[in-house]
């Protein structure tokens, strides 16, 4: 396979994921340029990554021929950048969230209706362990799934996992939520480990989201995903079994319960000299996740981002939509309703939105 050329608009923290993936998988992806408004920041990127930077999108498109562009800018700026690229007919993989508020999401739906080729790089459900759990749900081993509890990441990321695990699309949601504030020792930030011990105020948001006969519980503490002293948790309950973090309990027959562990299989440990990488995840004797990039030194979030990028290549070459603006808008909308329920202390109910009536985009 010839490496697919792509470009990036933006020069912030998230762009590093796409650049690291391209560096680790040069046979699949080639970063050919970036649009970075600040000239000094652009020169720093050129020195570090050896990639040409430009100050304007048109300058990039005159010099390069990317098959798609990753848009990783502030949510407030995202909608205008997406609209501009749609006018130019350029396929886009947008970082999350695609817009800052409900009005922005509604405007983006107009791009979908106009035929814009836009997908969203929501990566959490593609992380190896979450993908393994989803494969178990989809296998039917748990029976009819009716409950999920996600304490993994903030806002739309957590909502996305809940919807995927419950098999929910655009059904009406009824939400109750609360915020509990407590002290906690600060952990690492994007800049690295803490310089000293500091006590910070730590808000914990809990929401109960009812989708008809299905229940999702959203639970997230600020900075939980980086904290050294706060754990993540995910559970799924079905009529024949449950997943509780790495434990899977289900029935082989009504008198034969099975209690198995999700087990990561890494190469490069002890006497293995194949290199250090994730091979996949097993449940008992079967693989429930196989790393498509085995051999590359990528950690879980980078594997998920690489999967987004490969799905994007399939999409622009005639494959199906994989995570379009409709899904991203629904997740962000529900996350905003959670915040509304917290702020008002009242039960809130989702209403119909324009993207719910927009047909999913499938190229071909």
Any idea where the domains of the chain sit in the sequence? 125-298
Q: Which residues pair with 341 in a beta bridge?
A: none
Q: What is the pLDDT of residue 364?
A: 36
Mean per-residue pLDDT of the chain: 95
Tell me how many degrees the CA angle 167-172-173 measures, rounded to the nearest 5.
85
Mean pLDDT within 88-110: 94
Q: Under CATH, what is the fold of the domain 125-298?
A: Dihydrodipicolinate Reductase; domain 2 (3.30.360)
Q: What is the pLDDT of residue 359?
A: 65
User: Which tokens sit at 61?
Assistant: 């498109």
Q: What is the pLDDT of residue 28?
A: 98
pLDDT > 70: percent of the chain: 98
User: Which tokens sit at 106?
Assistant: 């509604």
> Above 60 in pLDDT, residue 361?
no
Distance of alpha carbon 165 from alpha carbon 214, whole angstroms: 11
User: Which tokens sit at 58?
Assistant: 């048109």
Say which range, 154-158, 221-225, 249-253, 276-280, has the weakest mean pLDDT.
221-225
Q: What is the pLDDT of residue 363?
A: 43
Which of 3-7, 77-81, 106-110 ranks highest by mean pLDDT?
Answer: 3-7
Distance of alpha carbon 17 from alpha carbon 302, whole angstroms: 6
- Beta sheet of 92-94, edge-to-edge order: 53-54, 29-35, 4-9, 68-71, 92-94, 118-120
Q: Check: CB of residue 121 under 8 Å from CB of residue 73.
A: no
Question: Nearest-CA neighbor of 224 among 158, 153, 302?
Answer: 153
User: Which tokens sit at 252?
Assistant: 């082989």
Q: Any residues with CB less than 8 A from the CB of 248 and at least 6 apart, and which? A: 136, 141, 241, 242, 258, 259, 260, 261, 262, 283
pLDDT > 90: percent of the chain: 94
Banded model confidence at residue 357, pLDDT cuts 50, 70, 90 = confident
Q: Which of helix, strand or coil describes residue 282? A: strand
Mean pLDDT within 153-174: 97
DSSP label of 125: G
> Above 60 in pLDDT, residue 362?
no
Q: What is the pLDDT of residue 225?
A: 85
Q: What is the pLDDT of residue 290?
A: 98
Banded model confidence at residue 1, pLDDT cuts 50, 70, 90 = low
Question: Nearest-CA neighbor of 174 among 347, 355, 363?
Answer: 347
Q: For 268-277, how does the pLDDT look when each residue is reduced to its tens digit (9 = 90+)?
A: 999 999 999 9
Q: What is the pLDDT of residue 353?
A: 96
Q: Which phi and psi (to 5°) does residue 147 adopt?
A: -140, 145
């Amino acid at each position: 396979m010839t490496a697919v050329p792509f470009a990036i608009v933006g020069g912030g923290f998230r762009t590093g994921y796409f650049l690291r993936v391209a560096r680790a998988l040069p046979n699949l992806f080639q970063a050919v340029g970036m649009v970075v408004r600040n000239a000094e920041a652009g020169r720093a990127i050129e020195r570090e990554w050896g990639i040409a930077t430009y100050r304007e999108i048109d300058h990039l498109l005159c010099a390069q021929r990317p098959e798609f562009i990753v848009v990783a800018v502030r949510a407030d700026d995202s909608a205008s950048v997406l609209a501009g690229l749609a006018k130019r007919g350029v396929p886009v993989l947008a970082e999350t969230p695609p817009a800052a508020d409900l009005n922005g999401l509604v405007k983006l739906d107009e791009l979908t209706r106009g035929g814009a080729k836009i997908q969203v790089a929501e990566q959490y459900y593609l992380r190896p362990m979450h993908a393994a759990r989803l494969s178990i749900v989809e296998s039917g081993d748990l029976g009819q799934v009716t409950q999920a509890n996600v304490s993994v990441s903030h806002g739309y990321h957590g909502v996305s996992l809940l919807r995927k695990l419950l098999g929910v699309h655009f059904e009406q949601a009824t939400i109750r939520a609360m915020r509990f504030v407590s002290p906690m020792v600060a952990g690492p930030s994007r800049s690295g480990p803490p310089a000293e011990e500091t006590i910070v105020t730590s808000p914990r948001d809990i929401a109960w989201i009812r989708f008809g006969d299905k229940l999702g519980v959203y639970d997230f503490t600020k900075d939980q995903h980086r904290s050294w002293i706060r754990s993540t948790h995910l559970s799924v309950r079905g009529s024949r079994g449950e997943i509780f973090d790495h434990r899977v309990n289900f029935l082989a027959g009504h008198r034969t319960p099975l209690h198995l562990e999700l087990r990561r299989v890494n190469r490069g440990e002890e006497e293995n000299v194949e290199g250090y990488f994730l091979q996949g995840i097993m449940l008992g004797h079967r693989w429930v996740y196989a790393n498509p990039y085995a051999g590359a030194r990528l950690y879980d979030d980078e594997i998920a981002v690489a999967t987004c990028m490969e799905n994007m290549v399939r999409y622009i070459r005639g494959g199906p939509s994989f995570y379009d603006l409709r899904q991203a808008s629904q997740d962000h909308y529900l996350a905003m309703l959670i915040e509304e329920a917290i702020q008002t202390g009242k039960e809130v109910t989702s209403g119909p939105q324009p993207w719910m009536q927009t047909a999913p985009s499938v190229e071909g």
